[in-house]
Structure 1
């Protein structure tokens, strides 16, 4: 057929290139995928702990609002009851020849204390009635404080809820990336929420043995961000639940658990001690014999690993 002119050849070559790009991006190698997954896991650890912190703050703020709002409602009911008593007092006073013009004022006045100065009835009231009127004044003045406190608490709760939702969205994006890489590596483990785990037979004693027995019973259950059981856990959710089973209440987040525990030298570890990763984004429980039980990250399950194979550097240890 002879030679094809250069321009014609280039044109044909361009037509053969798929629409949308000249070449597809090459898939990452196994080592590249593992390296990227490690970075994602480290980032996810920090975001999950931030999520847990925001969740705890939201629960606290919401609880404070509920208490203040209930207090406000009770005070409101008390004021309404006292108002009825004051109105009844005014009616009785009127029947006894009191100042009729003062009746509407007593019912509607915003500052009941002013009523004590403007009414000529004060001296005619019995001590019981005077005390009742003073109580009405006192309770009514406290209403605004109660209401404002409840509204402030509600605003705080709303702000913390927004922080939770923001972190949750970021986590969901990270999880999608993690799952994609894990599928690529053939390493995704869904876990079994109903796993009965293993029996702990290590050297722990006392409440540490109870904590580790609980943690071992969760082996095989999936890592779930924000999880506190029973079907799945994140790292600090597992440590909290395990020590709670032993009668010791730990705070919820990794940072809080680090701050609340007693420092332990890494060369003097005892079973039950909490082991924290560098950056405090992850925590597990020392099981003895150079092993740790923990809830690793998305796509993995609660499991026991040798400290030598942990894959992260330790920031230190704490004893609950």
Structure 2
């Protein structure tokens, strides 16, 4: 039996069509798909980003501290200026009232002088006003000079505030850029099951090391924070960054130290101690090379610190890895 041309073409199409449908139904690996990184690779990449981010964040924290100081100074000078200005205005009003009264009784020749709003205009003609008290005139000069000085100081403080505000905004942009990268790594760690969210309400664990005195109070506080999450800029009570934990721990012992890693290292320039187990004491501050990280020596070869994004406050042994990273130590 001879098949028609149409039938023949139909038979020939079936195998090809079947192969096409099969290709659509059977999953296939993408040639461009990237292999999933291992947990070790993800952590290594995160560590590299955290080393970079740690410096940026610490610089941001420092700029924020300086901005707060500048704002406080500006607010104080501005308040002092306003108080001084009110005093000058009150004195000027009394002098004008006195002068007008003298004019009304025929002693003066120029009423415009006493209507001036600027005390300096009044001062320019005060030598002709013999009826005014010499003491009051001198007081006005004194207050007017003080007001001008305060105004200059306030303007300088305002300039300083603007400068630190600009610096903080610039660093905030850097922080945002770095945070975006850290967020990507955080998602990766979560997907791999290696992200530690921590517990902001963690009560930590007791400190049982050899510290005494203030250092013991420092470490009791620090160990009570174990298990709480690392957070950039964290100062407690629910999360910390590395220098925030150190500052809070020493504050709990009644000792004030600067906020940032850079400041603490600089502040400790005359408080450095040799970096070896024989010389270190519990409570000493340990700084990493590059000043991107720090921790508190806990004694017996251990350190307590707030490590990095995706981790929690914890105690670690000062093994070869950590000794290789350390720059120096400071004793508050």
Q: Does 1:245 align with 2:255?
A: no
Q: Is the 8 A contact 1:71 1:146 kept in 2?
A: no
Q: Give the root-mean-square deviation of aligned CA atoms.
A: 2.8
* Aligned-pair CA distance for 1:279: 1.0
Deviation for aligned residue 1:136: 4.9
Which blocks of at least 5 consecutive residues in structure 1 are unaligned?
Answer: 3-7
Structure 1 CA distance for aligned equivalents of residues 127 and 283 of structure 2 = 74
Please give the residue correspondences for 1:1-320 in structure 2 after superposition, counting only pairs within 5 Å.
Answer: 23-101=32-110, 103-108=111-116, 110=118, 112=120, 115-119=122-126, 121-142=128-149, 144-261=151-268, 262-267=271-276, 268-308=279-319, 311=322, 313-320=325-332
TM-score by length of 2: 0.83
Whole-angstrom CA distance in 2 between matches of 1:185 and 1:97 = 95
The change in CA–CA distance for 1:228 and 1:310 in structure 2 (over 3 A counts) is: farther
| 8 Å CA contact retained: 1:48, 1:171 | no
Give every structure 1 segment of 4 or more consecutive aligned residues whose post-TM-superposition deviation is greater than 3 Å.
114-122, 139-144, 309-312
Residues 281 and 123 (structure 1 numbering): CA distance in 2 closer, same or farther, change over 3 Å?
Answer: same
> Under a length normalisation based on structure 1, what TM-score does the superposition of the two structures give?
0.86
Which moves more between the two structures, 273-282 or 158-167? 158-167
CA contact (8 A) 1:223 1:300 kept: yes
Alignment partners' CA distance in 1, 2:127 and 2:223:
78
**In 2, are the aligned partners of 1:68 and 1:149 still within 8 Å (CA)?**
no
Task: Please state whether the residue corresponding to 1:180 is helix, strand or coil.
Answer: helix
Q: Are the counterparts in 2 of residues 223 and 302 from structure 1 also a CA contact under 8 Å?
A: yes
CA drift of 1:195 comes to: 0.7
Question: Once structures 1 and 2 are overlaid, which stretch shifts more, 302-311 or 145-154?
Answer: 145-154
In 2: Cα distance, 1:278 partner to 1:84 partner: 64
Please, which moves more after superposition, 279-288 or 261-270?
261-270
Mapped to 1, the partners of 2:223 and 2:150 lie a distance apart of 53
Kindly state the Cα deviation for residue 65 of structure 1 after the two structures are TM-superposed: 1.4
**Deviation at 1:235?**
0.2
Shift of 1:146: 4.3
SS of match in other structure, 2:182? helix
Provide structure 2 residue ranges, at least 5 long, that are not aligned to the other structure.
Answer: 1-10
Structure 1 residue 155, shift from structure 2 partner:
1.7
Paired with 1:143 and 1:105, the residues of 2 have a C-alpha distance of 25
Map of 2:7 onto structure 1: none
3-state SS of paired residue (1:176) = helix
Distance 1:146 1:96 in 2: 42
Q: SS state of the match for residue 195, structure 1?
A: coil
CA contact (8 A) 1:254 1:280 kept: yes
| 1:162 partner SS | helix
CA distance in 1, matches of 2:55, 2:148: 46
